[in-house]
Structures are given as C-alpha cells and as structure tokens.
Amino acid sequence: MRITTQGDYALRCILNIARNAGAKPVTIRCIVSDEGLPLDYVEQLLMKLRRYKLIKSIRGAKGGYILSRSADAISIKDVLEAVEGDVFEVICVRQKHAGKKNCKGSKECVLKGVWLHLKSYIEGYLSSQTVASLLEKSR
C-alpha cells in the first residue's frame, strides 16, 4: 500500500469543497489558492473525482464544484479509489496476463491470509473515516 501525492491532493481538494458546502460551488482557482496545489494537477484530480461521482461540476459564471452526496457518505477509501485504484492490492490474488496469477507461491502459502486480512483491516478503517469526520477533526 502506498498513498501517492494524487491521493493526498485529492483528499485535500474534496475537503476544501466540503468545507465550503452550502455556500456556493468551489472554483478550481479557489482550491489551488487555498491548498497551494498546481492548477493542472487539480484539474486532473477533479475530473477523476467527478467521473467517480464524488463531486459534481456546475457550469457558468457562478459555477464550480460541489459534493455529489453528503460529506458523511464519502469515505477516504472512496476518494483514494477514485484517483489511485485499489487501495491495497494483494499480489498473490492479482491476475496477470492471460488469466494467470502473478504470484508463483504454493496454494498453502501462509502469507496470502496475512495480506488478505491486512487488506480487509485497512479498507475497513479507510471506509469508516469520512470526509465529514475529517472536517470535524480539523475544527
């Protein structure tokens, strides 16, 4: 498991949008200014978040971005998966080309259970942490 700058920046963007929820749509320029992030990178991340239906874009002079559902219905896991894909990939169950498994270990490999348990724990924790809970912690 590795959280990249994409995941970190995407969480910062969605927190910025959530923090301003109810007021008016948040513009890209506002996010860039508030968070100190590169404009082109933020544009790419917002496109991914929108494609994953975590945010909506509002067009026009008073347009920008809003959350597509309440902040307590969006988890950290949702955001990370939108921009990074699988949060914790277990190599021994990952499919390689032509349907072959990537791991060449035996079927009795004790590590597979360890990795699957860890994946379950991490994904459970990230699912339990919502944008709303992060906003609450930041106050």
DSSP structure class, residue 20: T
Instruction: Please tell me the predicted confidence (pLDDT) of residue 68.
Output: 95
pLDDT confidence bin for 100, thresholds 50/70/90: low
Angle, alpha carbons 25-29-33 (nearest 5°)? 115
In terms of residue numbers, what domain contains 104? 5-138
Largest Cα–Cα distance in the chain?
61
pLDDT tens figures, 36-73: 999 999 999 999 999 999 999 999 888 999 999 999 99
Q: What amino acid occupies position 4? A: T
pLDDT tens figures, 9-37: 999 999 999 998 777 899 999 999 999 99
d(CA 79, CA 90) in angstroms, rounded, equals: 20
pTM listed for this prediction: 0.84
Task: Count how many domains the chain has.
Answer: 1
Give the CATH number, domain containing residue 31.
1.10.10.10
Instruction: Please tell me the predicted confidence (pLDDT) of residue 51.
Output: 96
Residue environment code for 64-100, b if the CB has 16+ CB neighbours within 10 A, otherwise e: bbbbeeebeebbbbbbbbbbbeebbebeeeeeeeeee
